[in-house]
Amino acid sequence: MERKTFTSFVPPVRTLMGPGPSDVHPRVLAAMARPTIGHLDPLFVQMMDQTKQLLQYAFQTTNALTIPVSAPGSAGMETCFVNLVEPGDKVIVCQNGVFGGRMKENVERCGGTAVMVEDAWGSAVDPDKVEAAIKKNPDAKILAFVHAETSTGAQSDAQTLCRLARDHGMLTIVDAVTSLGGVPVRVDEWGVDAIYSGSQKCLSCTPGLSPVTFGERAIEKIKGRKQRVASWFLDLNLVMGYWGEGAKRVYHHTAPVNPLYGLHEALVILAEEGLESAWARHRHHHLALRAGLEAMGLKFIVKESDRLPQLNAVSVPEGVDEAAVRKRLLDEFNLEIGAGLGALAGKVWRIGLMGYSCKPANVFYCLATLETVLGAMKAPIARGAAIAAASEVIGRAA
């Protein structure tokens, strides 16, 4: 076979303003370039313990079982379902976008029965519908819902939904992939039983790790299972031997050492800024971006009260080829924004303001380049007002 010549892959510098990944903080990239040590090295174990404490702060919990799963957010989702759902369990699943559908898929693959509560894409989960479903299915054991629906930019009332579940003796599984670090997530205060997130969004880290945390009621369910967890790799009974307390750890898998350096550094940065300040920053810059987009004539698909600040879904103007716009933004300006998924494919753009990407320079760059491209395509937008509208908001105190 002829020998081929390969060269190193050197990606361009992009500005990432899609639904994730977001721009990675330079300190995180620098941390990941540090020397690799063993995953059972005593110094690495010390860093693991710090990472758990930092995640407890991010999730606002004292749960002992708070760890990063060694895989992306989808594996965090599967960790929750495969450990908590047993064959025959009835699970009420809320769907108001793509990721509620993935929850349903997980329930069924675990041998459970999914009772669906559906809301329009772009709307928050309706607590009244959930309460009705709970009353109609008193034997349901778990309520699963997405706190921040990445496919639409809608945020649901996690506190109310968790209270409903707890009042009826049910556990909760919550998707916080897009919300952690960007909007309030208060695990202990809300009574969340199991929740998962991702490293690549508001935490400003690279993709590949999934923070999760489990409360005492969830742990009791896991320990009382009648059947073994179907996944060996994600079985928390085994994983905790490695992520448990103290210096002595039981080998389970070779942890991704350098990515964990990166997550640790990202969480240190979050702690330095302070959660409340991070939440306020995301809100402030969202308002600036909103002002600019609306001045341009673009419309949001989610009503303001349900809108995520870090994930902005806007309708594509009439007659505009949305994919062509994204291609030009990427090819000519190295700017990435996201397309619509599922029922919203071809109808919306998803513009992210997450973590390190959430800053004034990105707000202005996105508005300027989007206006340039849309203007060149003769799209029906108002030109010349977006930057001024955003500047007025940026100039106010956060």
Which tens digits make up the pLDDT trace of 123-150?
999 999 999 999 999 999 999 999 999 9
Residues composing the chain: 398
Query: Any residues with CB less than 8 A from the CB of 89 and at least 6 apart, and which?
Result: 107, 110, 111, 112, 113, 141, 142
Q: What angle do CA 258, 262, 267 make, to 5 degrees?
A: 145
- What gap in Å lies between CA 71 and CA 253, rounded to an integer? 12
- Tell me what the pLDDT averaged over the chain comes to: 96
- What gap in Å lies between CA 47 and CA 258, rounded to an integer? 11
% of residues, the chain, pLDDT over 70 = 98
Query: Exposed/middle/buried for 280, CB within 10 Å: 0-12, 13-18, 19+?
Result: middle
Mean pLDDT for 10-14 is 96
CATH topology of domain 26-271: Aspartate Aminotransferase; domain 2 (3.40.640)
SS3 helix, strand, coil % of the chain, rounded to 5?
45, 15, 40
| Model confidence pLDDT, tens digit, residues 148-191 | 999 999 999 999 999 999 999 999 999 999 999 999 999 999 99
| Model confidence pLDDT, tens digit, residues 214-236 | 999 999 999 999 999 999 999 99
What pLDDT shows up at residue 243?
Answer: 86
- What gap in Å lies between CA 353 and CA 285, rounded to an integer? 8
The DSSP H or E segment spanning 336 is strand 335-336
The DSSP H or E segment spanning 29 is helix 26-32
Residue 398 pLDDT level (bands cut at 50, 70, 90): low
| Model confidence pLDDT, tens digit, residues 61-111 | 999 999 999 999 999 999 999 999 999 999 999 999 999 999 999 999 999
SS3 146: strand
SS3 114: strand
Question: Residue 90 pairs with which residues in a beta bridge?
Answer: 113
What pLDDT shows up at residue 2?
Answer: 83
Domain boundaries along the sequence of the chain: 26-271, 275-394
Question: Residue 69 pairs with which residues in a beta bridge?
Answer: 210
CA distances from 141 to 84, 87, 93, 271, 361 (A): 10, 12, 11, 35, 47
Q: Which tokens go with 216?
A: 């005492």
Taking Cα atoms as reference points, which of 176, 200, 211, 179 lies closest to residue 24?
200
CATH number of 275-394: 3.90.1150.10
Answer for the pair 104, 80: CB distance below 8 angstroms, yes or no. Answer: no
| Model confidence pLDDT, tens digit, residues 368-397 | 999 999 999 999 999 999 999 999 999 886
What pLDDT shows up at residue 354?
Answer: 98
SS3 142: strand
Q: Which tokens go with 112?
A: 């459970």
- What gap in Å lies between CA 151 and CA 178, rounded to an integer? 10
What pLDDT shows up at residue 247?
Answer: 57
pLDDT tops 80 at residue 246: no
Mean pLDDT for 314-328 is 96
